[in-house]
């Protein structure tokens, strides 16, 4: 059996299969970070939440660096193209200056324009020669001025091109560090999970479901959600339709489709397919898109979670979101309160809701809503009774 991790998330199905074959790791409680004998489900939930937190932060840092790297690569290409054009123009000016120098040298062996002007047979011819001499002098001066400017511009563009290259190389190195950090954190999660019995995994799943149900009931009872589901805008409806079509595809950190997604990869691609570009990461979506109160949510809005805005889903109405929860899970429909709410944002604040909207067909509830609901981040590990993220279950994985 082979479970490859590399920079992709751990494969929960492989892990679960290994658990069922090998059973719990003996003596695991003696190692730091591993479950101790008799450790409660709540404590395990808290431990895993803390590990997932570090992985989520590294994942979003990776995503942000990837965005900056793509921008840096575009900047480098632009500067390199500018430099190429400047050097081509400079070569042309140098060639022209060389030709003028040769003409001047060759003309020096005969009469200069000024001598021809003095020897002209009549005043009109003298004036014509004077104009020719002035025009030739101005031409040569202009060529030399353009040559000087071209050399200066080419030098400045070369400096900018070098800075763009250096910046891209720095970002590439930073991206590699974030990639290694995600892999390390997910390996640590795998190490903890591999020490659990199938019974412990089942109890963790039950605890997560219990926490989600309590949080959802409290949120609904609080009156913070809309009393009825409205209609989306045309763009919001298109984003919702796209997201619904991705249900069942695996979570893969750093992925933005078409075969797999992470949380912000799903929301950014949904809105891109609706014709509106939004930031790639959940933090930037939260920071740069207009905020909207929860009681004014409409389908297509983005619901952002955790104090650091490290998780996001797409609101579909009726107190539910479509989201890519975490490694080992698949894109699914979840209760809006599956994770600690930070707030909501609206990618198209100027759009008018449709008069009528037929929601996209969703898979039957068991298929659409099966698996993990919780994302995997928090600013700090939650208390035992909070909406913590449970372990990756052996339900579905790529």
pLDDT of residue 239: 98
pLDDT of residue 32: 44
In the numeric block, which tokens belong to residue 270?
């949904």
pLDDT of residue 93: 59
CB atoms < 10 A from the CB of 70, how many? Answer: 13
pLDDT of residue 145: 66
Residues 6+ apart with CB under 8 A from 370: 332, 395, 396
Q: CA-to-CA distance for 40 and 214, rounded, in angstroms?
A: 20
H or E stretch including 323?
strand 320-323
Q: CA-to-CA distance for 214 and 222, rounded, in angstroms?
A: 12
In the numeric block, which tokens belong to residue 60?
């979003």
Residue ranges of the chain with per-residue pLDDT less than 50: 1-32, 108-109, 378-398
Q: Look at residues 367, 368, 373, 371 and name the one whose alpha carbon lies nearest to residue 387.
A: 373
Give Cα separations from 220 to 271, 328, 344 (angstroms): 27, 28, 16
Q: Are strands 311-317 and 320-323 parallel, antiparallel or unpaired?
A: antiparallel
* CB distance 315 to 301 below 8 Å: yes
pLDDT of residue 166: 78
DSSP structure string for 238-264: HHHHHHHHTTTPBB-TT-BSSS-B-HH
- Chain-centre distance for alpha carbon 19: 34
Q: Look at residues 346, 186, 173, 338 and name the one whose alpha carbon lies nearest to residue 274.
A: 346
pLDDT of residue 10: 35
pLDDT of residue 76: 65
Q: CA-to-CA distance for 270 and 252, rounded, in angstroms?
A: 16
Each residue of 237-247: pLDDT tens digit? 999 999 999 99
In DSSP terms, which residues pair with 320 in a beta bridge? 317, 335
Q: Look at residues 348, 212, 353 and name the one whose alpha carbon lies nearest to residue 292.
A: 348
pLDDT of residue 345: 98
Q: CA-to-CA distance for 236 and 276, rounded, in angstroms?
A: 10
pLDDT of residue 331: 96
Residue length, the chain? 398
State the angle between helix axes of 263-273 and 41-108 in degrees (0 to 180), rounded to the nearest 10: 60
- Chain-centre distance for alpha carbon 6: 20
This prediction has a pTM of: 0.61
pLDDT of residue 367: 65
């Amino acid at each position: 059996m082979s479970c490859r991790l590399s920079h992709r998330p751990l494969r929960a199905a492989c892990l679960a299969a290994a658990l069922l074959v090998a059973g719990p790791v003996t003596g695991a409680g003696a190692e730091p970070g591993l479950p101790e004998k008799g450790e409660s489900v709540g404590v395990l939930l808290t431990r895993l939440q803390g590990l997932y937190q570090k992985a989520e932060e590294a994942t979003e840092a990776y995503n942000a660096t990837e965005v900056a790297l793509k921008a840096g690569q575009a900047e480098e290409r632009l500067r390199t193209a500018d430099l190429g054009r400047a050097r081509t123009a400079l070569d042309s000016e140098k060639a022209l200056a060389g030709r003028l120098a040769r003409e001047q040298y060759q003309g020096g062996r005969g009469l200069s324009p000024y001598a021809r002007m003095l020897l002209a047979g009549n005043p009109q011819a003298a004036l014509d020669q004077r104009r020719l001499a002035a025009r030739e002098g101005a031409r040569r001066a202009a060529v030399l001025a353009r040559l000087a400017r071209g050399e200066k511009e080419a030098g400045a563009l070369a400096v900018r091109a070098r800075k763009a290259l250096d910046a891209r190389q720095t970002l590439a190195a930073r991206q590699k560090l974030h990639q290694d950090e995600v892999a390390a954190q997910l390996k640590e999660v795998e190490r903890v999970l591999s020490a659990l019995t199938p019974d412990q995994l089942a109890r963790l799943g039950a605890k997560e479901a219990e926490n989600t149900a309590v949080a959802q009931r409290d949120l609904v009872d609080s009156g913070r959600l809309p009393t009825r589901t409205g209609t989306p805008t045309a763009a919001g409806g298109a984003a919702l339709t796209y997201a619904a079509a991705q249900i069942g595809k695996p979570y893969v950190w750093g992925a933005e489709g078409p075969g797999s997604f992470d949380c912000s990869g799903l929301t950014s691609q949904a809105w891109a397919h609706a014709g509106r570009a939004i930031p790639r990461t959940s933090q930037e979506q939260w920071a740069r898109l207009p905020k909207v109160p929860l009681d004014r949510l409409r389908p297509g809005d983005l619901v952002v979670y955790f104090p650091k805005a490290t998780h996001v889903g797409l609101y579909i109405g009726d107190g539910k979101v479509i989201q890519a929860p975490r490694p080992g899970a698949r894109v699914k429909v979840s209760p809006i309160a599956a994770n600690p709410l930070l707030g909501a944002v609206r990618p198209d604040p100027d759009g008018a809701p449709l008069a009528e909207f037929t929601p996209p067909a969703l898979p039957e509830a068991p298929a659409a809503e099966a698996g993990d609901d919780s994302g995997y981040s928090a600013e700090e590990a939650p208390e035992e009774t909070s909406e913590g993220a449970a372990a990756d279950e052996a339900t579905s994985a790529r």
